[in-house]
Amino acid sequence: MSHPEIEPYDHGMLDVGDGHHVYWEVCGNPNGKPAVVVHGGPGSGCRPRHRTYFDPEVYRVVLFDQRNCGRSAPHASEPVVDLSANTTDHLLRDMEQLREHLGIEKWLVFGGSWGAVLSVTYALRHPERVSEMVITAVATGRHSEIEWLIRGFGALAPEAYERFRAGVPDPGEDISAAYHRLLMDPDPAVHRKAAEDWCAWEDAIATVPPGRDVEHEPWEPRFQLAFARLVTHYFSNRCWVEDDELAREAHALKDIPGVIVHGQLDLSALAGNPWVLHNAWEGSELVIVERGAHGTGTTEAIVAAIDEFSP
């Protein structure tokens, strides 16, 4: 079970430079233990449900929208937007600016999916600022993981994959780069179709079994375009993380207590990912949730892991 729904007691827009302003909010106990939520995507934005992972009597919870998404500005859905100042290094610097702005010495870092990659990278760069870490829906930024999502997964959902490949002129090239060019095309008819095609594939790989039609609320067009632009921007640049970098360097996390929560049926981020990280990160705890999937079925384990670090 999750904790009660809460509203922020403070929020704002932080000028992080490069013409970017990052939305942030704080909720829970103003005098509580600091924690930060690092959302996924890239481009998903922070969500109200993220607040419910934390005991509001115990934690001072910071949430923020990464560059160009959510309530941050400029938004990636704008007709003309420059994403050149949106890289992994930029996001890590934003986290440090936000921590300093809020007067926080160190915080518990929670991240899922892409947020797991960013969280681990942040902890490797700034270990003195991380009290503990909880990550879920684990990705490690290996290039094979991105290839799995844009090519390898096709064998599990062949019909959806054929439609996905048909959305780009030359499916033999890097699919994420090809989609990104279409998504950045100034013609609304071109970039809207590319966003619909990309997000239809996102839907296909999120189901168990893969490719199964699932009824859900339609993608909001502004969110859909921004999300697709940001994901393909990062994927086509392999997230600006060296291949196997996090797995090679994770031994440096040995002094940071951490819990890795992963769904057994998470086909988007295969179970091998958390095992790789767990084996490299001495002292980490690995929790595999039976029947858990990517972002579903793991809430109870996430809450338990965060509660474990309550003061």
| pLDDT, tens digit, 9 for 90 and up, residues 50-73 | 999 999 999 999 999 999 999 999
Asked whether residue 155 carries a pLDDT value surpassing 90, the answer given is no
pLDDT of residue 19: 97
Confidence of residue 292 (pLDDT cuts 50, 70, 90): confident
pLDDT number for residue 271: 54
DSSP bridge partners of 112: 136
- Contact 205/149 with Cβ under 8 angstroms? yes
Rounded average pLDDT over 97-101: 98
Residue 129 has pLDDT above 60, yes or no: yes
Active site (annotated) includes residue 174? no
> What is the Cα 200 distance to its own chain's centre?
18
Q: pTM of the full predicted structure?
A: 0.94
Q: Calculate the alpha carbon distances from 50 to 61, 106, 171, 188 in Å.
A: 9, 20, 36, 33
Give the integer Cα–Cα distance in Å for 287 and 165: 35
Summarize the confidence of residues 105-133 as an average pLDDT: 97
Prior bond of 42 cis (ω within 30°)? yes
Chain-centre distance of CA 26, in angstroms? 19
pLDDT value for 66: 98
* Residue 248 pLDDT class (50, 70, 90 cuts): very high
Residue 208 has pLDDT above 80, yes or no: no
Q: What is the pLDDT of residue 206?
A: 80
- List 20, 191, 278, 294, catalytic entry: 294
Active-site residue flag, 113? yes
Query: Residue 80, by phi and psi: left (phi above 0), alpha (psi -120 to 50) or beta?
Result: beta
pLDDT given for residue 154 in this prediction: 87
What is the pLDDT, as a whole number, of residue 43? 96
- Identify the active-site residue in 72, 113, 119, 176: 113
Check 55, 233, 266, 268 and give the catalytic one: 266
The pLDDT value given to residue 165? 94
User: Is 266 among the catalytic positions?
Assistant: yes
Q: Mean pLDDT across the chain, nearest whole number?
A: 93
pLDDT at 47: 94
Stronger pLDDT, 90 or 218, i.e. the higher one:
90
